[in-house]
Structure 1
Amino acid sequence: MHPIPKITRRKLSDEVFDRLYEMIESGQYHPGDSLPSERELMDTYGVGRPAIREAMQSLERIGLVGINHGQRPTVLQPTAMGLISQIDLTARHMLASSSQALEQLKEARVFFELGMVEKAASQATVEDVAQLKALLAEQRSHLNEDAEAFIRADMAFHTAIAAMTRNPIFTATSQAMLGWLARFHASILHWEGNEEITLMEHERIIGCIEAAEPEQAVSEMRKHLERARALYALGKPT
């Protein structure tokens, strides 16, 4: 016979959180609306100020409300970037403590990059291509001068391709993945001595996108990413 779990008494702030969350989720309060004041909520729920403030802080942490000193909390419009930011610290901890998680991240990054470049190549505008060429020129300007700036430009190039999908979830996910790789495994984004090859591969990818050739864009992106993984596996640039 399994032991029967004990009934636990919930914190008052948790009860307040649940009620406020339900009001926001049900549409009683919309993005841009102000929530009731602390005093009004205290009177409504019959609780003290600490419970109200703790509940509001919990809502702020998950990106549902914005809190400015001296003003009522405001309901925020959820965004893909805000959603991803909620898992950032947890993801960092996971990657720092697990080599397997880092390998899984690299695999996921390839999966996303191939899908995104295919979609980008099928719907890129003249302005999109111009932006990629400008980013490539910026990256080339940092060649043999500033490795950190070269990596930032590399990340901006890949993020721009993600943005060309017109899907903000893809863009936010791409930025997060690249940020985590830069933090825990910068070598897979940049191998000293191979910058010219990186620039050449980026140029080929742009050419495929400009020519509206999704399959060829995927092929070039796969070769680009697999080369980086192969260099890492060898432990030295080639």
Structure 2
Amino acid sequence: MKLSDQPGDPDKIVRRKLSDQVFDRLRDLIASGEIPPGDPMPSERDLMERFGVGRPAVREALQHMHTMGLITISHGERSRVNALSADSVLSRVDDVARMLLSSEPAQLEHLKQARRMFESGMVRVAAAQATAEDVQDLRDLVAEQRRQMRDPAAFVTTDIAFHNRIAQVSANPILIATSQSMLRWLFQYHGGLLHWSGNEDTTLQEHETIVDLIAARDADAAVQAMQAHLDRSKQLYQHPERN
């Protein structure tokens, strides 16, 4: 076999679709700030003239950008550039993540493991950085959960808010968005809200202990308490067919 025939030959010229090239150009215009968030995209005719391509290539590129969340296409109006954030980017993979978790049960166990590692890091950061306001917010969430003990759905919602609030102490938008996404993916597999029955007091005690350790800036103990809390509760998250 000749060298030039080998797979992955860097000298081989690959002809790319016109729409892919238009997409790359438009993405560069957005990344460079030439078309800032909130601004309308150039018209299809302007793009056709600028890039020397036909309408199908422009429309396919714009649709690809819309699918990726880079722009919003509204009927009868010009497309507009979206303001991107860590949360908006991660939220767009929600459906794919849920499909993965549904089709491959082993991935749920991987998600639990990832959450344990992630939240151990988050509570360590919280113990080092939490302000008095952060600690009070966490105590308020525990108190709110206590008032919701007879409302399983509200109890779970506040449970999510508690863990997200710990991540918010980091003031890191990527970590905060990761926490929100991970919990969204995980809580859809909560093994029926009735699983909370009889565990509410234990959950509240564990949350209170975690907050106390954050307030005391005892990072090692806070990590141990969080890990014990997640290890105890991980059996609450199951695939529907296993409930």
Which letter does structure 2 place at the counterpart of 1:204? T
Matches within 5 A, 1:8-87: 10-87=16-93
Which letter does structure 2 place at the counterpart of 1:73? S
Counterpart Cα distance in 2 of 1:188 and 1:121: 30
The alpha-carbon deviation at position 62 of structure 1 amounts to: 1.7
Counterpart in the other structure of 1:165: 170
**Cα deviation code 1:163-192 (max 9, x no counterpart):** 111111111111111111111244699532
The alpha-carbon deviation at position 10 of structure 1 amounts to: 4.6
Q: Once structures 1 and 2 are overlaid, which stretch shifts more, 57-66 or 159-168?
A: 57-66
The alpha-carbon deviation at position 110 of structure 1 amounts to: 0.2
Counterpart Cα distance in 1 of 2:214 and 2:139: 11
Counterpart in the other structure of 1:206: 211
Which letter does structure 2 place at the counterpart of 1:109? R
Counterpart in the other structure of 1:125: 131
Counterpart in the other structure of 1:139: 145
> Does residue 187 of structure 2 align to residue 182 of structure 1?
yes
The alpha-carbon deviation at position 42 of structure 1 amounts to: 2.3
The alpha-carbon deviation at position 92 of structure 1 amounts to: 0.9
**Cα deviation code 1:182-223 (max 9, x no counterpart):** 112446995321110000100111111122222221121111
Which letter does structure 2 place at the counterpart of 1:30? P
Which letter does structure 1 place at the counterpart of 2:147? S
Q: Do the aligned residues in 2 keep the contact of 1:181 with 1:189 (CA within 8 Å)? A: no
Q: Do the aligned residues in 1 keep the contact of 2:191 with 2:236 (CA within 8 Å)? A: no
Q: Once structures 1 and 2 are overlaid, which stretch shifts more, 107-116 or 42-51?
A: 42-51
Decide whether aligned partners of structure 1 residues 232 and 36 sit closer, same or farther in structure 2, where only a CA change above 3 A counts: closer
**Equivalent pairs, count:** 232
Decide whether aligned partners of structure 1 residues 135 and 186 sit closer, same or farther in structure 2, where only a CA change above 3 A counts: farther
> Does residue 111 of structure 2 align to residue 96 of structure 1?
no
Q: Do the aligned residues in 2 keep the contact of 1:31 with 1:77 (CA within 8 Å)? A: yes
Counterpart Cα distance in 2 of 1:197 and 1:34: 53
Q: Which runs of 5+ in 2 are unaligned?
A: 239-243
Q: Once structures 1 and 2 are overlaid, which stretch shifts more, 47-56 or 102-111?
A: 47-56
The alpha-carbon deviation at position 69 of structure 1 amounts to: 4.0
Counterpart in the other structure of 2:155: 150
Which letter does structure 2 place at the counterpart of 1:170? L
Q: Which secondary structure does the structure 1 equivalent of 2:188 belong to? A: helix
Counterpart Cα distance in 2 of 1:19 and 1:162: 36
Decide whether aligned partners of structure 1 residues 176 and 209 sit closer, same or farther in structure 2, where only a CA change above 3 A counts: same
Q: Once structures 1 and 2 are overlaid, which stretch shifts more, 223-232 or 208-217?
A: 223-232
Which letter does structure 2 place at the counterpart of 1:216? A
Q: Do the aligned residues in 2 keep the contact of 1:151 with 1:190 (CA within 8 Å)? A: no
Q: Do the aligned residues in 2 keep the contact of 1:95 with 1:184 (CA within 8 Å)? A: no
Q: Which runs of 5+ in 1 are unaligned?
A: 234-238
Which letter does structure 2 place at the counterpart of 1:202? H
Counterpart in the other structure of 1:222: 227
The alpha-carbon deviation at position 76 of structure 1 amounts to: 2.7
| Length-normalised TM-score, structure 1 | 0.85
Q: Once structures 1 and 2 are overlaid, which stretch shifts more, 84-93 or 101-110?
A: 84-93
Q: Which secondary structure does the structure 1 equivalent of 2:196 belong to? A: coil
| Length-normalised TM-score, structure 2 | 0.84
Counterpart Cα distance in 2 of 1:215 and 1:188: 31
The alpha-carbon deviation at position 121 of structure 1 amounts to: 1.3
Q: Which secondary structure does the structure 2 equivalent of 1:36 belong to? A: coil
